[in-house]
């Protein structure tokens, strides 16, 4: 009975290990210099657009926060000047 359990456990572990191994069935794809150049240029444009979007979002956020702070200061000044 012990031998059967060990045999089943060994087979189970072997199946798990075999199913998790990498299999290289796909052929290797060659990459040309033009493809690399095109990809690098596209990534550059994406990065530039991302940075420009982040700068614009930061400017909008700062403008909103300054408006809130100005309103709070005006409220505070009127509160103390009326007393």
Q: What pLDDT digit, counting tens, does each position of 24-53 carry?
A: 666 777 888 999 999 999 999 999 999 999
In the chain, where the domains are located: 54-83
- Output the pLDDT for position 74: 92
pTM (2 decimals)?
0.52
Long-range pairs of 66-70 with CB within 8 A, sequence gap ≥ 24? none
* Spatial distance between the Cα atoms of 57 and 52, rounded to a whole number of angstroms: 9
Read off φ and ψ for residue 60, nearest 5 degrees.
-65, -45
């Amino acid at each position: 009975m012990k031998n059967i359990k060990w045999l089943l456990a060994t087979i189970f572990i072997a199946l798990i290990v075999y199913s998790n191994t990498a299999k290289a069935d796909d052929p290797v794809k060659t990459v040309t210099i033009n493809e690399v150049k095109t990809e690098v240029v596209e990534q550059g444009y994406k990065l530039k657009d991302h940075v420009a979007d982040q700068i614009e979002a930061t400017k909008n956020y700062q403008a909103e926060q300054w408006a809130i702070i100005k309103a709070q200061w005006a409220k505070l000044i009127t509160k103390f000047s009326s007393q």
